[in-house]
């Protein structure tokens, strides 16, 4: 017998957070989140996303044993501003039983219909900075802290339930070993002189913090024209600042200023924490924080997380400055591999940034949609 329960209390939310630890306990490619941070993301008194989003968290049981989980989400900015009558589903994990999947998704449909929505899409998080997409290729590749992992049967379940592809994402990596930097280092100097631009590098997190709000404003300006983009609010800026900036080696955050000291571009690269998180098993204490600190300071792999360039500078070669500065930093820190986060397949502008590095696509993922 299959039963579904809404997770409401702290202990139920903790059960919700910990379900994937049961499902993937022997999987070498799944990367566990930090339990405390994951629980905080679902806390409606702490995560500011709930000022403009509504969500319910459901747990599934089969014959009394944990069998799955799912979030039903309405992003009201998306519904009201973008006029998309969509209910999202996310944090979707399930045993290989399509009846459990069906029962979980029915709760999402019920939530969506109660708000007058007409279609469902997922998996996706609360906002643009959350995880997105169901893995469809690359099940034998280790995950990252900013992507979901899933078993291959998830895809089969959704397609059997008449879901169709909505968005396709690719993930790739490229090597810095043996790269000839002369082309973009020369271009960097030309672009800096032509537009009077200055790269800003950091050695400490405290020096970055005063400009993080400016960075998120630039992020909003960069992606404002995307059909599915919902701007980050002031309170969300504070939340993400606290959640992520301290995890990033300050060497890997780059700003570019114009002649007046105004930020016209930024880039965030993160050290790959996958192996450290795997070893920590979801817990910072007693020893997890040591492995994370080591991974932050010394790591041969990095993840290209975010980039933002003001629209008026997007075709002026600013990326040459970005690559030039990162090449110097990566050479100093002996970084060998750069992993790209999910990028929309049709976003050719972002793909063109990497064409000279001969990237290798190693994962694909999708969001799926269905009419209610």
Q: What is the mean pLDDT of residues 144-150?
A: 94
More confident residue, 336 or 286: 336
Identify whether residues 70 and 184 lie together within a single domain.
no
Q: For residue range 231-271, what is the model confidence (pLDDT) as tens digits?
A: 888 888 888 887 778 778 899 999 999 999 999 999 999 88
pLDDT at 163 over 80: yes
Nearest to 46 by CA among 164, 154, 126: 126
pLDDT band at residue 34 using 50, 70 and 90 as cut-offs: very high
Number of domains observed in the structure of the chain: 2
Identify whether residues 187 and 231 lie together within a single domain.
yes
Asked if residue 254 lies in contact with residue 264, where contact means CB atoms within 8 angstroms, the answer is: no
Q: For residue range 108-136, what is the model confidence (pLDDT) as tens digits?
A: 999 999 999 999 999 999 987 799 999 99
Q: Is residue 103 part of a domain?
A: yes
Phi, psi of 303 (to 5 degrees): -115, 125
Identify whether residues 264 and 160 lie together within a single domain.
no
Identify whether residues 22 and 145 lie together within a single domain.
yes
Q: What is the mean pLDDT of residues 62-84?
A: 94
pLDDT band at residue 230 using 50, 70 and 90 as cut-offs: confident
Q: Is residue 368 part of a domain?
A: no
Q: What is the mean pLDDT of residues 180-185?
A: 78
Which residues lie across from 256 on neighbouring strands?
Answer: 199, 265
Q: Is residue 76 part of a domain?
A: yes
Domain termination site, one of 170, 190, 219: 170
Extract the runs of DSSP E, i.e. beta strands, from the chain: 2-6, 53-62, 65-75, 86-94, 119-122, 134-137, 164-175, 198-200, 253-257, 263-271, 301-309, 337-340, 343-344, 360-371
Residue with structure tokens 């007409």?
Answer: 118
Hey, what's the torsion of the CAs at 128, 364, 59, 288, to 10 degrees? -80
Identify whether residues 184 and 326 lie together within a single domain.
yes
Q: For residue range 318-364, what is the model confidence (pLDDT) as tens digits?
A: 988 998 899 889 988 899 999 998 988 887 677 677 777 788 999 99
Q: Is residue 370 part of a domain?
A: no
Tokens (6 digits) for 205: 């997190």
Q: What is the CATH number of the domain that holds 125?
A: 3.40.630.30
**pLDDT given at position 227:** 66
Domain termination site, one of 153, 170, 187: 170
Identify whether residues 159 and 221 lie together within a single domain.
no
**pLDDT given at position 242:** 78
Q: Is residue 347 part of a domain?
A: no
Asked if residue 20 lies in contact with residue 266, where contact means CB atoms within 8 angstroms, the answer is: no
Domain termination site, one of 170, 192, 208: 170
**pLDDT given at position 231:** 83
Q: What is the mean pLDDT of residues 83-99?
A: 97
Identify whether residues 156 and 212 lie together within a single domain.
no
Q: Is residue 361 part of a domain?
A: no
**pLDDT given at position 177:** 82
Question: CB count, 10 Å around CB of 43?
Answer: 11
Q: Is residue 342 part of a domain?
A: no
Give the mean pLDDT of the chain: 91
Q: Is residue 365 part of a domain?
A: no
- Which domain range does residue 238 map to? 178-335
């Amino acid at each position: 017998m299959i039963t579904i329960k809404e997770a409401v209390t702290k202990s139920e939310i903790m059960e919700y957070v910990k379900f994937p630890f049961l499902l993937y306990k022997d999987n070498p490619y799944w990367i566990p989140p930090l339990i405390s941070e994951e629980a905080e993301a679902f806390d409606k008194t702490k995560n500011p996303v709930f000022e403009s989003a509504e969500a319910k968290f459901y747990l599934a049981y089969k014959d009394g044993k944990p069998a799955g989980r799912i979030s039903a989400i309405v992003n009201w900015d998306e519904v009201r501003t973008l006029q998309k009558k969509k209910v999202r589903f996310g944090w979707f994990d399930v045993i290989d039983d399509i009846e459990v999947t069906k029962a979980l998704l029915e709760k999402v449909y019920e939530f969506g219909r109660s708000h007058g929505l007409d279609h469902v899409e997922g998996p996706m998080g609360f906002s643009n900075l959350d995880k997105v997409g169901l893995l469809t290729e690359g099940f034998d590749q280790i995950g990252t802290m900013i992507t979901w992992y899933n078993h291959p049967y998830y895809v089969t379940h959704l397609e059997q339930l008449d879901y169709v592809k909505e968005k396709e994402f690719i993930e790739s990596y490229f090597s810095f070993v043996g790269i000839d930097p002369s082309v973009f280092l020369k271009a960097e100097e030309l672009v800096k002189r032509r537009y009077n631009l200055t790269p800003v590098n950091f050695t400490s997190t405290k020096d970055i913090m005063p400009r993080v709000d400016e960075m998120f404003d630039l992020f909003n300006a960069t992606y404002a024209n995307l059909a599915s983009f919902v701007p980050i609010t002031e309170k969300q800026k504070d939340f993400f600042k606290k959640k992520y900036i301290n995890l990033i080696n300050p060497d890997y955050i780059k700003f570019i200023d114009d002649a007046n000291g105004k930020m016209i571009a930024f880039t965030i690269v993160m050290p790959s924490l996958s192996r450290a998180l795997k070893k920590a098993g979801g817990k910072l204490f007693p020893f997890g924080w040591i492995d994370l600190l080591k991974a932050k300071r010394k790591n041969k792999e990095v993840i290209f997380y975010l980039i933002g360039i003001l629209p008026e500078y997007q075709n002026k070669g600013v990326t040459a400055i970005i690559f030039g500065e990162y090449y110097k930093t990566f050479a100093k820190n002996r970084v060998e591999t750069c992993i790209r986060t999910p990028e929309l397949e049709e976003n050719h502008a972002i793909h063109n940034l990497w064409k000279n590095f001969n990237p290798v696509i190693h994962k694909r993922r999708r969001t799926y949609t269905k009419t209610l």
